[in-house]
Amino acid sequence: MDRIATLRRIEGALSALEAGEVDLETCERQIRAAVRTFATEFDGELSAYRSDEGTIVVAASEREARDRIRALTDADAPTVRPLE
């Protein structure tokens, strides 16, 4: 899913919440699903990686993912694997 489609799905969820068509929990679930889909369906060099602690980042390699997770969480030696 591209960025514009993701933003449209998020806007749709927020509009439904404002109109009283869904509750906050449903809106949050829809937004989370849109963001997760966007973050895991990359074309090209980027992929999503999950650390052993559950942190998910987007990176071009496992090494880059470890570096990003280390910077975000202060983990000394995070283990990462591609998110499928």
**Tokens at 16, concatenated:** 């439904």
Q: What is the Cα 22 distance to its own chain's centre?
A: 22
How many residues would you count in the chain? Answer: 84
Per-residue pLDDT tens digits for 2-32: 889 999 999 999 999 999 999 999 999 999 9
Position with higher pLDDT, 83 vs 44: 83
15/13 Cα distance (integer angstroms) = 5
| Interval 56-82 mean pLDDT | 92
